[in-house]
Amino acid sequence: MILPYIKKCCIAASLIATSNLSASEITSSPNGQVKSIFEVKNGSPVYSVEYKNKSIIADSALGFDLQLAPDLIKNFKITDIKTDAVNEKWEQPWGEDRLITNKYNETLITLTQQDKLSRQLILCFRSFDDGIAFRYEFPTQENLKDFVIMDELTEFTLQENGQAWHLPAMSKDRYEYLYQKQSLKDLE
């Protein structure tokens, strides 16, 4: 009688432990209007970005081609997730504003390849009220000590009807101009 009870408890504990390591993770900005969505689709890492629940960046690939080593683009599974919220001010010595507010929500996602090498890659996503940022981290590990990146495969799949603020540059009389707002299709 006690054995079936223990078996049910072990299964429930296992489901609770793995439920936090889903195939997708959303990092929302402090005001909730900006979201970075990270997913593992068919073993490959992808991200997208929404603003006010509207897609800004559609599913975009992440990863690396390596020299003389298997690539870091597939066979991944989320194996750890850590979150943090930051709200701090720092002072800059020059510029328009003396005090800068640094407020964001952060998610660190550890990916582990599901093969004999079991290499790990950490993705750090930060969502601010006015945008997102992300970076790759390479933790110290036996099967990824010395390596050469041949190609970074990060994509930015912008929506076709998107608008961009851009800075024209490199003209014959000066290097920088004022920012301009323009349709993405007009920038091609």
**DSSP H/E element including 2:** helix 2-19
Q: How does DSSP assign 121-141, residue by residue?
A: EEEEEEEETTEEEEEEE----
Amino acid type, 109: I
Residue 108 reports pLDDT greater than 80:
yes
170 confidence band (pLDDT: 50, 70, 90): low
pLDDT > 70 in the chain, percent: 83
* Predicted pLDDT at 34: 98
pLDDT tens-digit map of 4-33? 444 444 444 444 344 445 568 999 999 999
188 confidence band (pLDDT: 50, 70, 90): low
Amino acid type, 18: T
Residue 167 reports pLDDT greater than 90:
no
Nearest CA to 183 among 165, 167, 157, 163? 163
Mean pLDDT score of the chain, rounded to an integer? 86
* Predicted pLDDT at 171: 66
Residues near 105 by beta carbon (within 8 Å), at least 6 away in sequence: 27, 28, 29, 30, 83, 84, 85, 86, 126, 127
